[in-house]
Chain A
């Protein structure tokens, strides 16, 4: 049977035909791949601190002293300044950081202290800002982790960005909320490994931090 399909209807049909939604588990997989790719590049701090030094001995000594003082101070404020530089030019992360609720709870295991600095809960994403401080000066990023809410819903798929220097890393992660799910506090963050920035094998451990923030 012959009929006439208006061109605009056909375009609408094509839009629908090409509207393949990305399933949550697929998104989580790609998130992990991209986070790993980002975590393997730490250009700024390492070049400055560990590049080949051709300065005269006296200058090297003075510089070493200056670096020691700077690192000592950095240990105290590293997480704060790292979050500052991490969010300074990234509108999305800056928005999250500014409206997130300060938490400031820590857990220590396997030679690393993980601190949940801030958190925010949106309808489609739960955001956490965490810092990891190596007790021996080793910089590491959070590895395997998930969130559990009061209803027992587990949130695993995530994306994030971070930076590291002087044995401390700062990362902001967004955990995807599955369609139809409504996150309900209180929440528990469970981290089961950290990944050294040096590329060495991940350190297994268990860091558990409870927190609660209102949903937006």
Chain B
């Protein structure tokens, strides 16, 4: 099974432009603001996708951008790109936060938010959605992380690999296996 490429969410920004703005952000706060506007929703979605509740995701989004601003001079243009660099910061902030707290089960339906606009369609899909959310919440951390980076943050397999420290091929395999397992569980009515 091949998984499709992520669909662009929001305005597409080419990496060359982001690299130039990121270099400028080392001394120009306005440039950093531009990067913030481009990525703030994506970071929040990713953190919610990892299982953070709304309060945690809000706090960690703020922490992510505070750290990014402090260390923007460490960003290396021409490598993975600004979004993977930023999401790696968000990922580390999330992991740190979870380490500080006692282990707790990840939230299920309240974490994953349905967005069906048609009430009838939403009602029909509600049961499938609830089951899908429950299955995602039970996934091993590395699989849920990869799914959140793909479907919440909209990263490509190459960029996800840069965030989680795997090759592009290994990341593709991880995503393919995860989605296949979810499909099987849903088909079985798990």
Q: Which residues of A contact B (CB under 8 A)?
A: 1-5, 7-8, 10-11, 13-23, 26-27, 29-30, 33-34, 37-38, 41, 43-44, 86-87, 89-93, 159-163, 172
Contacts and interface: CB of A to CB of B under 8 A. Distances in A.
Contact of B113 (A21, A160, A161): A21
Contact of A10 (B31, B125, B183): B183
B189 to A, nearest CB: 6
Interface string B40-75: 110011001100001001100110011001100000
B108 to A, nearest CB: 11
B26 to A, nearest CB: 9
A17 B136 contact: yes
Contact of A7 (B54, B58, B148, B179): B179
B54 to A, nearest CB: 7
Contacts of A41: 29, 69
The CB with the most chain B CB atoms within 10 A, among A2, A4, A16, A172, is that of: A16
Given A18-B45, A18-B148, A30-B40, A44 B33 contact: no
Contacts of B27: 43-44
11 contacts: A2-B188, A5-B183, A13-B128, A14-B147, A16-B129, A17-B132, A19-B113, A22-B40, A22-B44, A27-B40, A91-B34
B34 A92 contact: yes
Contact of B33 (A2, A15, A23, A92): A92
A89 B189 CA distance: 54
A22 B61 CA distance: 11
Contacts of B129: 13, 16-17
Nearest to B45: A20
B151 A18 contact: yes
B4 interface: yes
A64 B66 CA distance: 37
A163 B28 CA distance: 9
B32 interface: yes
A23 to B, nearest CB: 7
B7 A34 contact: no
B151 A14 contact: yes
Contacts of A163: 29-30
B189 A33 contact: no
B45 A89 contact: no
B45 A22 contact: yes
A20 B189 contact: no
B154 to A, nearest CB: 9
Contact of B189 (A2, A44, A161): A2
Interface in B138-189: 147-148, 150-152, 179, 182-183, 186-189
Nearest to B184: A5
Nearest to A160: B33
B152 A7 contact: no
Nearest to A32: B62
Nearest to B149: A18
B183 A30 contact: no
A33 B40 CA distance: 12
Contacts of B7: 15
B66 A34 contact: yes
A33 B66 contact: yes
B186 A5 contact: yes
A16 B40 contact: no
A50 B1 CA distance: 63
A18 B152 contact: yes
